[in-house]
Structure 1
Amino acid sequence: MKNTARQWKKSNLSSLQKRQSSLERSKEQQAYVIAALFSSVVGTYLDLFFVGIGMYHFPMRLFPEIFTVNIAFTLLILPVSVILFLYLVNRMRILPRCIMILTISTAVIFIEKAAEKLGGFIHHPDWNHAYSFFGYMLFLVIVWRVFRFFK
């Protein structure tokens, strides 16, 4: 009789643990989606602002007669990159996470310069690529915080 009661308690506990882990997984997936959408909206509005004040522009973009920003970047590349970033840093401790953010922020400088050479991006002569370094560093920290908040 004792053995049956013990098995019943274990099976109930196992079922509860499975439901909780399923709920946690669902909440984490929602956090990825929310963070990706957040990054897309913030990226789009920042691009609209900086294009509007003439700090840079996108000579090659989808639907140039409609959009002044590169919607392929803000609606596809940025959110997918953010999800990849969050997936990686979510499994890291704080020091490697900080190093990753600094590395990505540094890489953005070189990616922007390469995009300029390919003609996809043109900065105003007064633009300093340090703006991009600090901007992306802040952006990634904020996106990480949004992700953690909703997770």
Structure 2
Amino acid sequence: MMLASLLGTYLDLFFVGKQMYEFPVRLLPRIFSINIAFTLIGLPVFVMIFISCISKVNKWGRAGIIFFVSLLMPIFEKFAEVLGFFVHNEQWNHLYTFFGYLLFLTIISAFYQWLEKQTR
């Protein structure tokens, strides 16, 4: 979860800095340009649920879960935009979200699998 929070925070800082998107609604907007509630609470909870799911399936199940969740993320992102929590610039393509989460979840899964091997 710590790795996910760090990756999520740095990716948000990068994309907000590049003005690819912004968070109009966020905690402490004068201090933080990103939504720290998401990166410090939402993302770790999401990753806990994700790890719980992938720990119960084989490698094809993990791949399926990663793919399915990656497909869902652009939909959730669009919903967050409708609610006013998220704003993209006109250059943003929601396929970036799909591929970004595909890579992100693959990294988290690989790290989890590596940790599992280290603790055996």
Instruction: Give the superposed CA RMSD.
Output: 0.7
Give the deviation of 1:99 after TM superposition: 1.2
Partner SS for 1:141: helix
The equivalent of 1:132 in structure 2 is 97
Larger Rg: 1
After TM superposition, the score normalised by the length of structure 1 is: 0.75
Structure 2 counterpart of 1:80, one-letter code: V
After TM superposition, the score normalised by the length of structure 2 is: 0.94
- Give the unaligned 5+ runs of structure 1: 1-35
The equivalent of 2:50 in structure 1 is 85
Q: Which runs of 4+ in 1 moved over 3 A?
A: none
Q: Deviations for 1:107-131, whole angstroms, at most 9, x for unmatched residues?
A: 1010000000000000011100000
Partner SS for 2:46: helix
The equivalent of 2:40 in structure 1 is 75
Q: Deviations for 1:60-102, whole angstroms, at most 9, x for unmatched residues?
A: 0000000000001000010111011011111101222111111
The equivalent of 1:39 in structure 2 is 4
Structure 2 counterpart of 1:116, one-letter code: E
Structure 1 counterpart of 2:27, one-letter code: L
1:99 aligns with 2:60: no
- Give the unaligned 5+ runs of structure 2: none
